[in-house]
Structure 1
């Protein structure tokens, strides 16, 4: 692991070096060295491309719209409270806090019309893709650009939480379990908000959401020794609104819950995936590089190969194992 960390610290990408120094080596975020590195991130081709690509797109355009640009900038250590981010923040919050998302309506079934008028609630369960508001909350808090509306996002997420702790946008009235895809970003966003503000309700909501992952041992079905889905035991970066074992462990690390025995299988699986050079590979990806079309990225997030290490996946894996005391 020392070799893997040393190699990452020599990366050409300042964002990789920032992730190693803050998330793995534990350097304070307000230290002079880390701040200087964040300024290097701000001026980097990666950050400028992410900012530039969001211009003129729908806020949720995959994967270059303002919503995804904010999440990417937060992930790479872009410096806080930078004015270049304000237009993206405004586009995202204006979109996710329009009137339709601020009112709830009890219905017997969800239709296009009911979904466009309010957040539909069937048998007491709000049918909302909470990864959208959760992702926005995570990004604006991490980037230090909250203009007072983060509290409203956190409140809406609390209102929509299901009895089992998570969230789901499944329209079928028979659906009674939360979705791991729709629960991860709300949990992480609420944790970030609680850390920034001391909001106890937000932390309690996030910790109850963690049960959605813990009761599945992070990546496995509750009633059978099989993965939740084939893609869940593949490693990706970024995961966007998707979910995999490594992303789940990152969220549980932020919640301080990796010591829970139900994380053991996923941690062991992650360790088993280490390559001979000490790194980890990206098994698959949800992005592509092209001039146009859906799921198009403005930057590359490294190779997808079973034999070659991916810097971003390696950073996440080492972050998890460090937090678990297994590095």
Structure 2
């Protein structure tokens, strides 16, 4: 285990502070000092250096300026994806406040969908979940987005980004991203009675399917449930779901099979392998290629399993 921890600690500050706090048990002053480095070195500093004078990344809200949809995969360089990364890496909001990021995005950043203002969100559940999480992280009033989720929850208890095309059946991907956004809002603001109830209904949508099954056939909803990819991006996996439930503090016996999938993916050296990156343009890579031991996935899996067994 000492060798494994040494391997994990030999990493970017964005990852290292989480290992120190959650796996090694370092005193707060140690991991907080490492976390403070996120804005001045490594991944965080490189991504901050890519921010434009207009407060945006790549000149766009969800897609980079000039994106024509013809390249392979989804570009991951625009503003929303960049904010997601900085938030997940633990950047202190003060850094972006000093850059007037909130004000610049409010003044000049518009969604590619109907030119809507950035902090008001749009119609995609996943996009709105990230805007909700990024908004509360940066102290923006995004209450309207939280209430939007209450009004857009489907009858089966989840959400689907394709509701605008008429879909009435929830998606694992959309539902997980939605409850993650609602949880981020709830942890900062306490949420409303309606938003808390909506999140719990979303949790139940996943739990009654044991985090991986179709209700109709009791078979896995797709091979992707046990394919662990880092960064998670928008994609569902039982590891991504269990990381959410860890943060929510929700343990349920119906998670048992999902936990077994995570345990079964552990290699003999104690690591978890990269299941493959989501294709698309990036500023720079933050994890290894497919089939290689991933420090990010190993952190997530060890943290989940420790929490589950505690």
Q: When the two structures are superposed, what TM-score results if normalisation uses the length of structure 1?
A: 0.78
CA contact (8 A) 1:66 1:89 kept: no
Q: Which runs of 5+ in 1 are unaligned?
A: 103-117, 120-127, 288-294
Q: Aligned residue pairs: how many?
A: 287
Matched, 1:208 2:210: no
With 234-243 and 224-233 compared, the bigger mean Cα shift is at 224-233
Shift of 1:63: 0.3
Deviation of 1:203 after TM superposition, in Å, equals: 2.7
Task: Write out per-residue CA displacement over residues 149-203 of structure 1, whole angstroms, 9 at most, x where no aligned residue.
Answer: 2222212222222222221132554x33211111222211211211112224333
Question: What's 2:88 paired with?
Answer: 75
**Deviation of 1:70 (Å):** 0.7
Task: Say yes or no: does 1:267 pair with 2:269.
Answer: no
Matched-pair contact (CA < 8 Å) for 1:3–1:278: no
Task: Report the counterpart of residue 134 of structure 1 in structure 2.
Answer: 129
Which residue in 2 is equivalent to 1:49?
46
User: Does residue 8 of the first structure (1) align with residue 8 of the second (2)?
Assistant: yes
Once residues 35 and 80 of structure 2 are traced to their aligned partners in structure 1, the CA distance between those partners, rounded to angstroms, is 21
Mapped contact 1:54–1:64 kept (Cα < 8 A): no
Gaps of 5+ in 2: 53-57, 64-74
**Residue of structure 1 aligned with 2:37, choices 18, 37, 40:** 40
> Which secondary structure state, in structure 2, belongs to the residue aligned with residue 304 of structure 1?
coil
Deviation of 1:23 after TM superposition, in Å, equals 3.9
Alignment CA distance shift 1:197-1:98 (3 Å): farther
Runs of 4+ with deviation above 6 angstroms: 97-102
3-state DSSP class of the match of 1:81? helix
Structure 1 residues 310, 45: closer, same or farther in 2, change over 3 A?
same
Q: CA 1:132–1:26 in 2, change beyond 3 Å: closer, same or farther? A: farther
Counterpart of 1:21 in structure 2 is 20
Paired with 1:280 and 1:89, the residues of 2 have a C-alpha distance of 40
Q: CA deviation at 1:77?
A: 1.4
User: Would you say the 8 A contact 1:227–1:233 is kept in 2?
Assistant: no
Find the counterpart in structure 1 of residue 287 from structure 2.
302
The answer (yes or no) to whether the contact 2:39–2:48 under 8 Å persists in 1 is no
